[in-house]
Structure 1
Amino acid sequence: MYKNTKTILVSLFVFYFAIGVSAVTKPSSDADMSSFSYVFYLYYDKGQLFADRDYQVKYDIISEKFVQGPPTPNAYKIDISNFKSEVVKSIVFDPTQGRAGFSAGKIQVKTPYIPDGQKAVFYNSQGQQLVTIFVMDGALCNDDGVCNSASGENQKTCPNDCKTPRTPTATVVPTVPLDEGFDMMTIIIYGVGGLGVAILAWFGWKWWKKRKEENFLPPPSAPPSPIDTSSLLPPLQ
C-alpha cells in the first residue's frame, strides 16, 4: 500500500514537473511586441538541422529585441507562419554562427516574436525544408475571426480578429470652377437686365397710377343760371 502511494506521488510529481517545464511564458498583451524574440533550440550536424532533443519544448520566448545579423554566404532561412498559413516573417541566419570549422553541435537561433505565430519552418541554403517547430503555445492570437480579449487579443496583438472601427468620412462634393470672364459677363448681363426690368416696371406703375387718377376725376360743375332782372324794375305807372 505504501509502495503504491509512493509510486503515485512520484508519477504526479513527474507529470506536473513536465507540464511546468513545457510551459511557454507568453508576453503581456499590453507589452511592446517588438521587444520580444523567439529562441529556438537546435542541433546542427554537417548541413542538417534538427530540434534539440535535450529540450522538451524546442523554443522559448524571451524579453529581447531581435537584431538581424550581418549577411553571410550559404545562409539558412526561417519562415514564421500565422494561423492563416501566411508567412509573416522570414529571417536568414548562419547555422555555424561564425565559428570556423564548426560542423556539428547545439545552436540557438533567434527570430522576432509573432503574436499569431503558429509554426517556424527552417530551410537550408538550397531551399530544402529541414525541420518544423510549432510555436502556437506562445501565441496571443489565433486568427479565428473572434476578438477574445481574455486570451490577450486586441487591436495591437491580433489585428486579424480585432478590427479597428472605421469612422465614416464626410463626402466631399467636387465643385466645378467657373471661368472668371464668363462669370463676370453673366453678372453684367443679369444686372443690366434686372435694371431694365425695374425701369419698365417703374414707368408702368406711373402710367397705371395716372390712368387711375383720371378715371376718378369729379364731373365738371354746371354753369350758374341767369338772374331774372324783371323783378327788380319799378312797376309802370
Structure 2
Amino acid sequence: MNFFIVFLFLGLFISLFSVYYLSRDDHIFLRKDVTMEKIFNLAFIVFFGGLFFARVFYGLLYSTKIFLNPLIFFLFPYFPGLSLTGGVIGGIFFLLLISISKNLPIGRIFDVFSISILSCFSLGYLGFFLLSGQNLLSVKPIFLIVVYIVLFYVFIKYIHQYLLKGILKDGSGGLLFLISFSLISLAVNIIDKFKSNPFLGKPENPILFIILVISAIAFIKAEKLIKFPQRRER
C-alpha cells in the first residue's frame, strides 16, 4: 500500500512539473490571463476527479461489490483497483467542464494536460508491474514502459512545437494523445486475450474503440487532413 501511494504521488509530481514547464511562457495563457495558480488549481481538480472516475470505472467493469461499502470504495490503497481508461475519461471530463465554466482556452489547456499525463505513464506502468509481482523483463512491461517514454518524447519534442508554431490547431495535441492511448491500450488488450475473445476480452475495449473513433474523426475534421508545411496565422 505504501509503495502504491509513493508511485501515485511521484506520478502527480512529474505531471505537475510538466504542466508548469509547458505553461510557464505560453503566450495564449499570458494573453488570456491564465495564471499558474489557475492552472495548478485545475490540475489538482483533474487529478482527484480522474482518480474518482478510475475507481468508479473499475467497480462498474470488474468488481461491483466495492460499491457496497464506502470504506472499501474510497480506501483504494488497501483495496486496490483503478481503471486507467476511467481515469483518463474522468480527468478530461473535469478538465473540459471547468475550462468551459471558467472561460479558459480549452484547446491549449487540453494539449498541455494531455502531454503532462503522458509524462507519468511509464512510471505508472513500472509501479503497476512491480506491485503486482509481474516480471519486468517480459514483453508486455517492456513494451508499455518503452512505448510511453518514446511517445512522451515525440509529444514534447515535436507535437508541442507544432502546436506553438500553429502547424497544429489547439486541441489537436490532446486528440492525438487520445488516439495514441486508445490504440496502444486496445493493441495490448487484444494481444493479451487473443486466444479467447480478442476484442471483448477486456471490458474497456469497446470504450477504447469508441474513444479512438471519436478522437480520430475530431482530429481529421479539426486539421482538415493536416497540411504540416502550412503555418496558421494567430
Q: TM-score, normalised by structure 1?
A: 0.21
Q: Which is higher, the Rg of structure 1 or of structure 2?
A: 1
Query: Greater strand share, 1 or 2?
Result: 1
More relative contact order in 1 or in 2 (CA 8 Å, sep 6+)?
Answer: 2
Query: Greater helix share, 1 or 2?
Result: 2
Q: TM-score, normalised by structure 2?
A: 0.21
